[in-house]
Amino acid sequence: MNLKELLEKRKTAITKKWFDTVVETYPSDTSRFLKKQKDPFDNPVGSTTLQGVEGMFDELLGNMDQEVITSFLDPIIRIRAVQAFSASKATGFIFFLKAIIRESIKDEIRQNQTDELLSIESRIDELGLIAFDIYMSCRETLFRIKAEEEKKRTFSAFERAGLIKEI
Amino acid sequence: MADDLAKPDELLSGIGHKPPKTGWMDTPVNIRKGMYCYASNPKSVDYLGLPNARQWNPMEEDWKLPENWKQILHEGFRERLDRFRSFKVFMDICVRCGACADKCHFFIGTGDPKNMPVLRAELLRSIYRNDFTLAGKLLGKVAGAREMTFDVLKEWWYYLFQCTECRRCSVFCPYGIDTAEITIMGRELLNLIGLNIDWIATPVANCYRTGNHLGIQPHAFKDMLDFFVEDVEDITGVNVEPQYNKKGADILFITPSGDVFADPGTYTCMGYLILFHYLKEKYGFDITWSTYASEGGNFGFFTSHETMKRLNSKMYAEAKRLGVKWILGGECGHMWRVINQYMDTMNGPADFMEVPVSPITGTKFENASGTKMVHIAEFTADLIKHGKLELDPSRNDNLKVTYHDSCNPSRGMGMLDEPRYVIQNACNHFYEMPANTIRENTFCCGSGAGLNAGEDMELRMTGGLPRANAVKYVHEKHGVNMLSCVCAVDRAALPALMEYWVPEVDVVGMTELVGNALILPGEKERETDLRGEPLPGMEEEE
Amino acid sequence: MNSKYMFSLAAVIVLFLLAYIGVAGIGLYGFFGIFIPYAAAFIFAVGVVYRVVDWAQSPVPFRIPSTCGQQKSLPWIKPASFDNPACNGTVLIRMILEIVLFRSLFRNMRFHFNKGNKFSYEWEKWLWLGALAFHWAFFVVVIRHLRFFTEPVPVCIQWLESLDSFFRLEFFADFVQVGLPGVFISGIVLLAAVIYLLLRRMLIPQVNYVSLAADYFPLFLIIAIAVSGIMMRYFTKVDIVGIKEFTMGLVTFHPKIPEGVGSVFYIHIFFVSVLLAYFPFSKLMHLAGIFMSPTRNLANNSRVKRHVNPWNYPVKVHTYEEYEDDFREKMIEAGLPVEKELTTNGG
């Protein structure tokens, strides 16, 4: 069995562990809420995170399609980008996966599979970089909204009405 | 190789420590940028004659409080316990069953345990027990009591301005404990020592002086409406000129100034003009706008009961001065909670007006027979039901619409079906969001109760996440691209929320949809909607 | 270990020891059998009345019901009469639904995603069920105990008893004690429900986080009451006739200490007394408070009928005259009607 097949077999356990470590970045009482509450509308943070980690894991073992990865990663990062996290905390959860995978397969891994493991780890690095890009674009959107909201709302109405004279 | 592997937990601790697992009373508040609004401008506080006007900054150690601030708070607390049974009962009877805990949009979005409604209330209750109950005095912390300190005060300020007074928690509470009521009292207390936020204080001062939150003077108010008239004429070929401050008009119209001055509320405002003109042409409808009472919203509600009353007084005063028969109210959330639950008590009785009767359908609005004020959704739904409006909903066919119930009309009034009826008659594609996110279970926009500033954007985005998440669901499932509402704060807050979470969805007021669909007598063939976007089927000709 | 519930548990153990040593050790039968129950009943009665009167003294200045359904507006729109009551009659029904069936807790209905984006409803029923079982069982137990305080025992209490012990559980009776009367369901349900509520408070993280020591104390106390009661009924031999004489003595104000009643009885009485005395000072007052909650006990009719605020006072307002004085010139210029034309000043 090659490494990919092994990981695929362990998908449930690995993504569960990954999910747990991600939500454990929240205050402990909150993280238990995030794990327990299954309703996607009453618990968007937890359900988005769960869907996201599962989807990303598939891509990691699959085609590494940028678009698909983004579709899973974006919702998670978008939430973390406005919560009480630093940039490293908001995106760093990607790298938890490395340790989780190593831990999960440490008894089975054979010498000749290290190459395969390294290649998966590079893919995880790639995920990390994508995460950082998404994080930045979220923060940029946020700052743009902050800067332009007032203008968009009021100024543009005034401008349309010709109440503001340009020099 | 297994031995030198880092454990996930170690990795985690390498990135940052989890917060200590301490009880909430022992977890100090950490005022974080993006989660609070700037302190109130002393000029505004001073203009209103409210206490302790001065420049201050919540991030600094010195909040420039009056020397005896603890005493002021203590006495203010006692006074409110004596005046409000709600406050006294809610301080006493919570059993901390936890039913409310996960009902708050701020808790769901931020994950901060102090945003659980029960804990927000405990911030005040802990002081209440210490100051006013025997058990608290004798047993202290065991009974959940603690002394007022500057740290507790900071907590009050931070978390009472992370509540939008949306009342969702009160729906699920077995005793009806209403965090909005507790937040209202808490904010009143904070105002006693000058701890308001500027996004509330300055609109209040403006509204007091000029009649509206933005401080728009009467001539500019008229200029704006004149401009809408021109715009509507360009689109429809019909002049919909309104009347202002007209004595002896049948009806006075009051709407939040956001509809006059801020996109996309301005399009809703055009909708009002179109509707009123249609009714005037067809049925001789006689309605006037007022520049004095040019604000339906009432940020006084977010300051104190007294300030709310001071601002609200203008509605009846103006109705009396103009001698109208009744008042028609525009689309606004908290304005309608004030009208429904406070106005008549505070500034009534409105015995100088008549029980509202629709001059077009003859319907007597029995449910408004005391306040003499009718909601435009009630009024329009009645018109449509009687077949008095000629609507072409296909002009909204490019829209797939869902409806966001605003907190106050839902849980402080119960107006749920009237706007739905209107919207479903004005457009052909309507989809509801999931049931636990609408009607009395509706999720707040995250920016209500005066939190709609720019500097607290992270707070607004996290608070609005549960709402946005439900919109995203209908967007993905049904292709919904328009979020409709009957609230000016929603129209101001939701576009930013959508831009961040579901950028494909835009925000619209109910009456804008009506304005698009309504066929004016003598209108030319419309090519665009009120926003200047081509109508369905007209794209080619652009 | 959580210091909050350890503290409450310790308090209940201390209370137990107090009663046990006091009765079995020192023999303070009169103190624990007569003085404490009277004192507790007195504190309970005066305390509850005091608290309710105290609440009632604060007025209800505004009509602030939480509206949980469609308002009564146009005749062709169906109102949610009970969730958004428009008159006192429907308020009454809303209150009954709330008090008898815990309507608001019942609302805890939520969606779940199944695989493939399909919805199903799931009803968050456990808190509602647990709370309902607990309160109803407690109520039945209290009513049932009235047999000790009435002579002759009213028929309705006898009915309730026979209903309550409908399931005879003979095998259980055989196992415990031959010839025992039927098992009272209410006692078992009470104990089970209160243990559920306790476990819930300890194990559900959010509830645990918001709980105070004062939330655990009554739960432990009620467990102690239930256990001591069940002990007496099914496991130790207590002299029912002697107890009835004693309790009748208490209610007729001719208290007399009975012979040969075991210390379990005194411990039971002592726990009940503590609960009664603790009641008015604690959150247990929610029993009375729910009747006085302004978000539930008022009709949403303040647009129809004026609600009067007894302390409504005049406030400083910005009048139209002041407003026009401020902006008259600009208003005239814009063609807006004004009350007073511009006065041509001499200057």
Q: Are B73 and B124 in contact (CB under 8 A)?
A: no
Contacts of B146 (CB under 8 A, 6+ apart): B25, B126, B127, B130, B140, B152
DSSP states along B22-84: --GGGS-----TTSSPPBPPHHHHHHHT-S------TTSS-----TTHHHHHHHHHHHHHHH-
* A94 touches A128 (CB < 8 A): yes
Question: Cβ separation of B465 and A27 shorter than 8 Å?
Answer: no
* Contact yes or no for B473/B434 (Cβ under 8 A): yes
Instruction: Select from C112, C113, C205 the Cβ nearest to the Cβ of A29.
Output: C205
In contact, B320 and B285? CB cutoff 8 Å: no
SS3 content of chain A, % helix, strand, coil (to 5): 80, 0, 20
Peptide linkage before B51 cis (omega within 30 of 0): no
Q: Which residues in chain C are contacts of A38 at CB distance < 8 A?
A: 112-113
∠ CA B51-B56-B59 to the nearest 5 degrees?
A: 135
Q: Are B462 and A83 in contact (CB under 8 A)?
A: yes
User: Chain A partners of C110 at a C-beta cutoff of 8 Å?
Assistant: 39, 41-42
Q: Residues of chain C whose C-beta is under 8 A from some C-beta in A?
A: 110-113, 122, 205-206, 208-209
Looking at residue C278, its amino acid is Y
- Measured distance CA(B343)–CA(B256) in Å, rounded: 16
Cβ neighbours for B204, distance < 8 A, ≥ 6 positions apart = B44, B48, B213, B299, B300, B303, B307, B311
The dihedral region occupied by C260, where left means phi > 0, alpha psi between -120 and 50, and beta the remainder, is: left
Contact at CB, C312 and B345, closer than 8 angstroms: yes
What's the gap in Å between the CA of C80 and the closest CA on chain B? 9
The DSSP-derived string for A81-101 is TTSS--HHHHHTHHHHHHHHH
Rounded Cα–Cα distance for residues B33 and C164 (Å):
60
User: Among C62, C212, C292, whose Cβ lies nearest the Cβ of B89?
Assistant: C292
Per DSSP, the three-state class of B391 is: strand
pLDDT the model gives residue B202: 93
Q: Which CATH architecture has domain C3-292?
A: Up-down Bundle (1.20)
pLDDT reported for residue B5: 40
Strand ranges of the sheet holding B287-289, from the earlier edge strand across to the other edge: B287-289, B251-254, B326-329, B373-375
Nearest residue to B37 via CA among B151, B121, B159, B150: B159
Residue B8 has its nearest CB partner, among A100, A147, A150, at A100
Contact B50, B194 (CB under 8 A): yes
Confidence of residue A163 (pLDDT cuts 50, 70, 90): low
Residues C242-293 pLDDT 10s? 889 899 999 999 988 887 788 899 999 999 999 999 999 999 999 999 999 9
Q: How far is B248 from chain A (nearest CA, A)?
A: 30
Distance from CA of B539 to the nearest CA of C (A): 35
Q: Which residue has the tokens 């069982």?
A: C137
pLDDT band at residue A40 using 50, 70 and 90 as cut-offs: low
Measured CA to CA, the distance from residue B225 to residue B221 in angstroms comes to: 7
| CA-based nearest distance A68→chain C, Å | 18
Interface touch C336/B218, C-beta < 8 Å: yes
Tell me if chain C has a CB within 8 Å of the CB of B208: yes
Residues in contact with C152: Cβ distance below 8 Å, sequence separation at least 6, in sequence order: none
**Per-domain boundaries in chain B:** 21-196, 202-517
Q: With a cut of 50, list the residues of chain B below it in pLDDT.
A: 1-20, 542
pTM: 0.90
Residue B526 in contact with partner chain C when CB distance is under 8 A: no
For tokens 């509308």, the residue is A41
What is chain C's alpha carbon radius of gyration, rounded to the nearest angstrom?
Answer: 29
B134–chain C Cβ distance below 8 A for any pair: yes
CA proximity to A13, closest of A110, A97, A124, A109: A97
Helix then strand then coil, % of chain B, to nearest 5? 55, 5, 40
| Residue A37 C-alpha, separation from nearest chain C C-alpha, in angstroms | 10
Sort strands C109-114 and C118-123 into parallel, antiparallel or unpaired. antiparallel
User: CA angle, corner C212, sides to B167 and C197, nearest 5?
Assistant: 80
Pull the structure tokens for residue B117: 């409604």
C294, closest residue in chain B (CA to CA): B86
Domain boundaries, chain A: 3-160
Most A CBs within 10 Å: which of B444, B500, B507, as the mutation test of the A interface?
B500
Stretches where chain C sits below pLDDT 50 are 1, 111-121, 171, 173-174, 178-179, 346-347
Is C110 close to A32, i.e. CB distance below 8 A? no
- pLDDT at residue B387, as a whole number: 97
Q: Write out the two tokens for C225.
A: 């009451």
Q: Is B407 on the interface with C (CB under 8 A)?
A: no
Q: What is the pLDDT of residue A166?
A: 53
Q: How far apart are CA B79 and CA B71, in angstroms?
A: 12
- List the single best residue of A16, A21, A42, A78 to mutate versus B (max B Cβ within 10 A): A42
Pick from B244, B417, B435: CB nearest C77: B417
Nearest-5° Cα angle at B379, B178 to B258: 65
A-chain residue closest to B433, CA distance: A41
Shortest CA distance from B101: residue in chain A: A33
Q: Is A29 on the interface with C (CB under 8 A)?
A: yes
Find residue C113's DSSP bridge partners: C119
Distance, CA of B43 to CA of B54 (rounded, Å)? 8
How crowded is residue C245: how many other Cβ atoms within 10 Å of its Cβ? Answer: 17
CA distance B127 to B132: 8
| Rounded Cα distance, C225 and C248, in Å | 20
Do A19 and A49 form a contact (C-beta atoms < 8 A)? Answer: yes
Q: How many secondary structure helices (H) and strands (E) does chain A include?
A: 9, 0
Domain ranges of chain C: 3-292, 315-347
- For residue C318, how many other CB atoms are within 10 A of its CB? 20
Please state, in angstroms and rounded to a whole number, the distance separating the CA atoms of residues B117 and B121: 6
B231: Cβ contacts below 8 Å, ≥ 6 apart? A160, B270, B530
Per-residue model confidence (pLDDT) at position B12: 41
User: What is the rounded distance in angstroms from the CA atom of residue B414 to the CA atom of residue C68?
Assistant: 7
Give yes or no for a contact between B1 and A103, defined as CB atoms under 8 angstroms apart.
no
Is the CB of A39 less than 8 angstroms away from the CB of C209? no
| Under 8 Å between Cβ of C201 and C130 | no
* Residue recorded with tokens 């279970």: B441
The packing angle between helices B417-426 and B510-517, to 10°, is: 30
Cβ proximity of C220 and C12 under 8 Å? yes
Eight-class DSSP state of B283 = H
Whether residue B264 is preceded by a cis peptide bond, meaning omega within 30 degrees of 0, is yes
Instruction: Please report the beta strands in B241-358, taking only residues with DSSP state E, as ranges in sequence order.
Output: 251-254, 287-289, 326-329
Neighbours of B64 (CB within 10 A): 13
pLDDT in tens, A69-125: 999 999 999 998 988 788 888 898 999 999 899 888 887 777 667 888 888 899 999
> DSSP labels for C136-162?
HHHHHHHHHHGGGT-SSPPHHHHHHHH
State how far the Cα of B105 lies from the Cα of B331, in Å rounded to an integer: 23
Contact B465 A99 (CB under 8 A): no
Largest CA distance in chain B: 90
Q: What span, in angstroms and rounded, lies between the C-alpha atoms of B386 and B249? A: 24
Closest CA to C143 of C179, C180, C184: C184
Residues from chain B that touch A48, judged by Cβ atoms under 8 A, are 469
Tally A–B CB contacts below 8 A.
149
